[in-house]
Amino acid sequence: MNEQNLRNHFTSIGKAVNTILESTCDIIIELRGSPEAAAEPESASTEGRISPRQVKLLRKIASERNWDWDEFSDKVKQRFNRTVVYLSKKQASDLIGELLEKGGSHGTGTH
């Protein structure tokens, strides 16, 4: 592998890692420091809240369909009266099921 090919290879790896880190940081910030946390209903903070894996899957689905995450989150809040990170596991599971089943027509009005 010549020097330019090696440089291009490492540049590609760096860009991929940056994308992963950016998404990870967004998820951590959203899960830990949500500014809406104080306004969320108490029932949403009980055991059974959405798992990090479910949040990650929702982000992946939105990304694969080129949906704006903030717009998608707003639609989820309109539908469930709480932000994504305060959905229950069941609500998240139902939403993920709808998204995967209908391939884009998920009832939140995003697509």
- Beta carbons within 8 Å of 61's beta carbon, 6+ residues apart: 96, 99, 100
pTM of the model: 0.53
- Start-end of H helices in 33-68: 52-64
Decide: 96 and 53 in contact? Cβ < 8 Å: no
pLDDT, tens only, 13-25: 877 776 776 777 6
Mean pLDDT of 10-37: 68
94 and 73 both lie in a single domain: yes
Q: Which residue has the higher pLDDT, 55 or 111?
A: 55
Kindly tell me if the per-residue pLDDT of 77 is higher than 90: yes
29 and 82 both lie in a single domain: no
Instruction: Tell me which residue range forms the domain holding 110.
Output: 45-111
Task: Report the domain count for the chain.
Answer: 2
Mean pLDDT of 47-75: 90
